[in-house]
Amino acid sequence: MILGATLEDCLAEAFRRLARGVADRRSPFHTPTLATIGADGAPEARTLVLRGFEPASRQLRLHSDARSGKVAALARDPRCQLHLYDAAAKLQLRLSGRAALHDDALADAAWRDSRQSSRMCYAVEPGPGTPVAAPPPAPRDAEAGRGWFRVILLRFDRLEWLELAAAGHRRARFDWPAEAPLAATWLVP
């Protein structure tokens, strides 16, 4: 099935699927992979939950624990990429841009809007990635995690679309250069 007949169709479909990824927990775009640059310069990738999308500003909202490696990586170098894949549609998106970390009114609002089960993830002790002899017990106080909760706002300036199809793969790139209009082009898959 061809989803992107034109460049405009590709971009509209990408934005539609990103919005659905926020709203629908069953959407394959609900849990994208975030790639950052580690302290040693090597890439690091991990799965997060897509929490928000603002099409006009091309901003995606994700959440993280302040003690995590991804927060440290983004604090050192905000460049990152988000990878999303829908196996049924055979559609891949790669969004490249810069992330900003928030522990402010935006984080307060996101925390208030989070379910208690999600809040529990941030109350775990010790922090994520800490070596332990055995798995720690589940947290009991969801509010104890607010101090570690951070919002990641990723503003992408490049979107790559790859659709795999028996009739012929389609690949496109959309760039939003600073102070310039959108540049869109087909690429050889």
Taking only the tens place, the pLDDT of each residue in 17-58 is 999 999 999 999 999 999 999 999 999 999 999 999 999 999
Does residue 1 sit within a domain? no
pLDDT value for 166: 87
| 167, pLDDT greater than 90 | no
- Residues 153, 59 contacting (CB under 8 angstroms): yes
Provide the number of structural domains found in the chain. Answer: 1
Confidence category of residue 10, pLDDT binned at 50, 70, 90? very high
Non-local (6+) Cβ contacts of 179 within 8 A are none
The pLDDT value recorded for residue 2 is: 65
| Structural domain contains residue 87 | yes
**pLDDT higher than threshold 90 for residue 61:** yes
Q: What is the CATH number of the domain that holds 65?
A: 2.30.110.10
Residue in this structure with the two tokens 């332990």, named with its chain if needed: 132
Has residue 13 been placed in a domain? yes
- Mean pLDDT score of the chain, rounded to an integer? 95
- Please tell me the distance from the alpha carbon of residue 13 to that of residue 6, in angstroms, as a whole number: 11
Share of the chain above pLDDT 90, in %: 94
**167 in any annotated domain:** yes
At residue 100, does pLDDT exceed 60? yes
**Residue 53 CA neighbour count, 13 Å, CB half:** 20
Determine which helix (DSSP H) or strand (DSSP E) holds 36, and give its type and residue range: strand 33-37
CB atoms within 10 A of CB 184: 17
What is the chain's Cα-based Rg?
A: 18
- Predicted local distance difference test score (pLDDT) of residue 86: 97
* Exposure string for 147-173, b = 16+ CB within 10 A, e = fewer: ebbbbbbbbbebbbbbbeeeeeebbbb
Would residue 55 count as lying in a domain? yes
pLDDT in tens, 104-158: 999 999 999 999 999 999 999 999 999 999 999 999 998 999 999 999 999 999 9
User: Is 86 part of any domain?
Assistant: yes
The arithmetic mean of pLDDT across residues 84-109, rounded, is: 97
Which residues does 110 contact at the CB level (< 8 Å), separation at least 6?
A: 51, 52, 61, 63, 149, 151
pLDDT score, position 40: 95
Instruction: Say how many CA atoms lie within 13 Å of 170 toward its Cβ.
Output: 18
Containing domain of residue 178, as a range? Answer: 7-187
pLDDT at 5: 85
Is residue 176 in a domain? yes
Query: Residue 1 above 60 pLDDT?
Result: no
Inside any domain, residue 2? no
Q: What is the pTM of this model?
A: 0.94
How far apart CA 140 and CA 120 sit, in angstroms, is 7
What CA–CA distance (Å, rounded) separates 29 from 39? 28
